[in-house]
């Protein structure tokens, strides 16, 4: 069945990237089954779709394999995004292992049982670990530094094994650092860009852990989602593909851009200790995505931060209430 007239499933579809993927799938005419336990995702991220009937939200856990199989009935493609993040893995590695590794195994098993044709596993550049050579191609050594990275790599291996063992059409999409509207700023799920925006708009200095010269390949969420969709429709069965901007940016530069966009160049970043197991360098080679998918990222870091700050000001006019939810050191559990 052609793209745009299919029934597809998205695990983690109420989350940050997942909800943007749902937006794109609906926009092209697909009907979407969202599976999310709402531990991280938010119902409000999908609220604009639910009345139309084009999106079904099932509050379910990827660890509940028996529940997944009937939810996949009539589904052509599964996009698997449900995950627990890198910072949670630093204080609750068992949870991250269960969701990211065991959960992926159960989703794959349910997909085979439901006779799903195609399975898109959304991995992470963290599966590579820190760059040994740049830019990092799909063949770059995979040597993760965190439990999160190791769990995403395990998911990649399970995905490939299901292709070889059961003939499931699997594709691994490997996004680099995604940012944009709906990104988390709260608690352990808070990312650098949204956390910095919250702090700066509330008059507090941004926090940088380490010297700030660590690099990332920051990719605007619309570009990430377009890459995932292109990968899902491609002939890269049994293969992986990087989805990134293809630009190396230091954390210090990102924070400076946010300060300027927020009109607070008077503030200066505060530096804290290095985050445990933090990767030093990430810079994605997107040659395969350009060649095989026709992928071309459209939003650079300056434009992306401008778009995000403008969206944030509209979405959260009460910055005081938002600031109270931001956790400075977000790789440690909140004391009870």
Give the DSSP letter string of 226-264: HHHHHHHTSS-TTEEEEES----EEHHHHHHHHHHHTT-
Determine whether 148 is an active site residue. yes
Average pLDDT, consecutive stretches of 10 residues, N- to C-terminus, the chain (336 residues): 80 98 98 98 98 97 97 98 97 98 98 98 98 98 98 98 98 98 95 97 97 98 98 98 98 98 97 96 98 98 98 96 91 76
* Annotated catalytic residue within 148, 158, 283, 308: 148
Separation of alpha carbons 328 and 36, rounded Å: 27
The confidence score (pLDDT) of residue 335 equals: 64
Superfamily per CATH, domain 180-216+247-278+300-323: UDP-galactose 4-epimerase, domain 1 (3.90.25.10)
Kindly report, as residue ranges, where domains of CATH 3.90.25.10 are found in the chain.
180-216+247-278+300-323
User: Coil, strand, or helix at residue 187?
Assistant: helix
Q: What is the largest CA-CA distance in the chain?
A: 59
Contact 241, 289 (CB under 8 A): yes
CATH 3.40.50.720 in the chain, residue ranges: 7-178+220-243
Nearest Cα to Cα of residue 195 among 245, 127, 254? 254
Q: 67 with 113: CB under 8 angstroms?
A: no
Contact between 35 and 71 (Cβ < 8 Å): yes
- The CATH fold assigned to 7-178+220-243 is Rossmann fold (3.40.50)
| Residue 213 CA, distance from chain mean position | 23
CA distances from 215 to 120, 177, 234, 271 (A): 27, 10, 30, 16
Q: What are the phi and psi torsion angles at 265 (to 5°)? A: -70, -10
Asked if the peptide bond before residue 122 counts as cis, ω within 30 degrees of 0, the response is no
Task: Give residue for tokens 């700030």.
Answer: 212
Closest CA to 289 of 116, 138, 131: 138
- The DSSP bridge pattern shows strands 239-243 and 270-272 to be unpaired
Cα–Cα distance, 168 to 116 (Å, whole number): 8
């Amino acid at each position: 069945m052609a793209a745009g007239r299919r029934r597809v499933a998205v695990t983690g579809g109420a989350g940050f990237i997942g909800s943007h993927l749902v937006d794109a799938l609906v926009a092209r005419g697909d009907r979407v089954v969202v599976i999310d336990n709402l531990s991280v995702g938010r119902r409000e991220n999908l609220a604009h779709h639910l009345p139309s009937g084009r999106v079904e939200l099932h509050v379910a856990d990827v660890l509940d394999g028996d529940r997944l199989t009937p939810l996949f009935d009539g589904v052509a493609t599964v996009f698997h995004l449900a995950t627990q993040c890198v910072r949670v893995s630093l204080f609750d590695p068992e949870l991250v292992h269960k969701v990211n590794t065991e959960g992926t195994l159960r989703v794959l098993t349910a997909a085979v049982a439901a006779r799903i044709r195609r399975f898109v596993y959304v991995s992470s550049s963290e599966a590579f670990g820190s760059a040994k050579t740049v830019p990092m191609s799909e063949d770059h050594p995979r040597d993760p530094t965190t439990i999160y990275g190791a769990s995403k790599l395990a998911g990649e291996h399970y995905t490939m094994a299901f292709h070889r063992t059961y003939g499931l059409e699997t594709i691994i999409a490997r996004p680099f650092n995604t940012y944009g509207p709906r990104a988390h700023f709260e608690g352990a799920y808070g990312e650098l860009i949204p956390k910095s925006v919250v702090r700066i708009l509330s008059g507090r200095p941004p926090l940088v852990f380490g010297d700030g010269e660590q690099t990332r390949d920051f990719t605007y969420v619309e570009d990430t989602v377009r890459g995932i969709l292109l990968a899902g429709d491609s002939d890269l069965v049994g293969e992986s593909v990087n989805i990134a901007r293809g630009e190396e940016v230091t954390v210090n530069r990102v924070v400076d851009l946010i300060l300027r966009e927020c009109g607070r160049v008077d503030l200066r970043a505060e530096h804290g200790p290095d985050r445990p197991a933090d990767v030093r360098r990430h810079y994605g080679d997107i040659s395969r995505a350009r060649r095989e998918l026709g992928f071309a990222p459209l939003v650079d870091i300056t434009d992306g931060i401008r778009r995000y700050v403008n969206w944030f000001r509209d979405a959260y006019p009460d910055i005081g209430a938002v600031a109270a939810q931001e956790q400075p050191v977000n790789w440690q559990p909140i004391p009870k």
